[in-house]
Amino acid sequence: MNRYITKPNIVYFLIFIMLLALPYVSDSRTLLIMFTQIFLFAIFAMSYDILLGYTGIVSFGHAMFFGIGAYSTGVMLKQFDSTIATLLLAVLVGAVLAAIISYLVGMLSLRLKSHFYAMLTLAFSGLFLVIAEKWRSLTYGNDGFTFSIPDPLRDRMTLYFLALFLMVVIFLLLRRFIHSPLGRVLQAIRENEGRTESLGYHVLHYKVIASVVAGVVASFAGSLYVLTLRYVNTSVFAVDVTLDALLMTIIGGVGTLVGAILGAGLIEFAHHWLTDLAKVHWIFERWIIFFGILYILIVMFFPQGIIGTIRMWWRKRKAKQTAIKNENNISG
């Protein structure tokens, strides 16, 4: 039991308690909405980190799974009664569709080299975007559609707690996944695919498993996203959605999961902050330029992402302390 009582786990628990208390400390509706957005994009970023950080797979089409979850939830809530049972069924349908499509896309494209796979996933994502635009009888095209959500979720505080608990549960499940024997194999593939294959592992099968897990988790994020908006359109399939997940993962720290959560928080906070500044002065209307500068600075000073760089500094510090201790023992 003591192995769970570590400094990082204590910090995570304290942050969780603070987030639980936030709605009771602040009555700001804007702050509540922003943190809900952070939680759901953290889920999406963690799903991308399974691919990039733990398997070494670069995907430019991860938004297709986000969009599948979003449209499955939106369409079913619009077509049927807006009840909790319908919502749970819609989320399940989205997850199953994401699993099937991620399996098929993985089997078709993961045999390719990394950059070819990345471009092919971009093409698949574009295909889903076109389908969503053309199937107007169901999706209403680029105009999108609004829908009702179950009554218990109309309260922003309830939605906030739902997003928070879902993020924590998915974080714990994914952490368990990456520390399992299967997760160790995925990390071995990331480090040296050829050597892993020479040891007898069927690399393609493990990559497909990572793709399916990432796709299902991304669909959950998409479902939660449209619940917060009560609206869905084709933008959920846009390349920008995938790039956001990529930036969140890189800024926070690739291969850390916690970094994905931190990256989501930083990007969403920077987006809201710069958008508010744009209302104050016209120079901030081009907030994307300042966002780019912020990203460049983080990459310059935190080359392995914020969490990755902090871990590197900590390891160096511990190594230095160990070396000094050994020298003192020898001299003594």
CATH number at residue 111: 1.10.3470
pLDDT tens for each residue of 207-264 = 999 999 999 999 999 999 999 999 999 999 998 899 889 889 988 888 889 999 999 9
In a domain, 220, yes or no: yes
| Rounded Cα gap, residues 310 and 7, in angstroms | 14
Q: Give 313's pLDDT tier (boundaries 50, 70, 90).
A: confident
In a domain, 327, yes or no: no
In a domain, 11, yes or no: no
In a domain, 1, yes or no: no
Our count of domains for the chain comes to: 1
In a domain, 311, yes or no: no
pLDDT attached to residue 141: 87
Instruction: Provide the residue range defining the domain that includes 161.
Output: 29-301
231 phi/psi in degrees, rounded to 5:
-160, 145
In this prediction the pTM is 0.90
In a domain, 320, yes or no: no
